[in-house]
Copies of this chain bind each other. A is one copy, B any other.
Amino acid sequence: MAPLNPIYPMKKILPALFLIFLTLPIHGQEKTLAEKLGYSKTDKLLIIHADDIGLAHSENVATLASMTEGMVNSTSIMMPCAWSTEVGELIQNFPHLDVGVHITLTNEWFNYKWRPVASAEKVPGLISESGFMHFDCATVSQNATPEEVETEMRAQIEAALKIGIKPTHLDSHMGCVFYGRPEYVASYLKLGQEYGIPAMITPEIVESIIKANPSLFTEFDVDNLPIITQIASASPQEYDEKGMEGYYTSLLNNLQPGITALLIHLAFDDAEMQALTLRHPYWNSPWRQADYDFFTSEKAKNLIEENNIKLVTWREIGAL
């Protein structure tokens, strides 16, 4: 499916890049993040993180249900999307929940569209000829200046605050902040510091972006940033070959020590999501229903208990 190609290399690279299990402490860091949280180096800590709340009504309801009735313990919101305001209302009775800002620089769906939160005149490089955000990260990094990306990231954080969300963390939709220009990562970390919240990074990002471009990161005490141990997320190949239950069962039974952020995507396989994810064979409506089904199942709960996995949140990390 030719039109989809630009997305998938990124999505394939993400797990490949980040699933390198770096459990050694970072040079100069006396305690790992796990130890700072009061755990030992050998404890298996897990953030079960639902990306993409705010994307659609179906996504909002499924994600919230997975947090209040299932095992999901963190989410992050896509502020440019039409349904993001609903999240402000839905979570107002659950102020303890982890809700970060899922920095969104792309609009990867064919028939459901959004524009940047910032004024078009301030961020022209983030806007495609169609008037919406670009379809993939590569086009973003070819077109958007670091200043534009910082402007848009700030606008998204401010928009979240405006609907009553006090973000617990920052992360990046489709990983676009981490692809392309290292200046994007500098702005992302700067905004995390400015708003007093952790911006998700991994040892791989520290090595390949921060330490490779030291002049951009002089204002940060890199070794003391809240660096998680690894990211895990189902790939198209795992979805096809193992199915979601198979993939997550294997992941939970073999979880490595340290803090793993498991990135999942939850929605109901309904008319709205089917139309929204049209012609996308992955991260689509049935994929999201399968994530929902697994993380609201007894099996997920039991696997987490049996494997002595401890759930941690971005709120706890931010409190450090």
- The stretch that binds B, out of A30-38, A117-125, A184-192, A205-213, is A117-125
- Chain A 119-149: CB-based contact to B (< 8 A → 1; otherwise 0): 1111000000011100000000000000000
**A196 CA / B162 CA spacing, docked (Å):** 42
Number of copies: 2
Q: Check if A89 is an interface residue, CB within 8 A of chain B.
A: yes
Q: Check if A49 is an interface residue, CB within 8 A of chain B.
A: no
Q: Check if A61 is an interface residue, CB within 8 A of chain B.
A: yes
Structural contact, B57 and A85, CB atoms closer than 8 A: no
**In the complex, which residues of chain B have a beta carbon less than 8 angstroms from the beta carbon of A130?**
85, 162-163
- Chain A 82-124: CB-based contact to B (< 8 A → 1; otherwise 0): 1111100100000000000000000000111111010111100
**In the complex, which residues of chain B have a beta carbon less than 8 angstroms from the beta carbon of A89?**
110-111
Which of the residues B84, B114, B271 comes within 8 Å of A57, measured between beta carbons?
B271
Most chain B CB neighbours (cut-off 10 Å) among A89, A112, A122: A112
- A131-B162, A159-B131 are known contacts. Are A271 and B83 too (CB-CB below 8 A)? no
Specify the main secondary structure of chain A where it touches its partner: loop
List A residues 226-249 near B (Cβ within 8 Å).
none
Question: How distant is A257 from chain B, measured CB to nearest CB, in Å?
Answer: 41
**A131 CA / B84 CA spacing, docked (Å):** 12
Count residues of A near B (Cβ-Cβ below 8 Å).
Answer: 33
- Using CB atoms, name the residue of chain B closest to A159: B131
**In the complex, which residues of chain B have a beta carbon less than 8 angstroms from the beta carbon of A159?**
131
Chosen A-B contacts, 13 in total, with CB atoms closer than 8 Å, are A57-B272, A58-B271, A58-B272, A61-B271, A82-B114, A84-B113, A85-B112, A115-B115, A119-B119, A121-B122, A131-B162, A270-B270, A271-B272
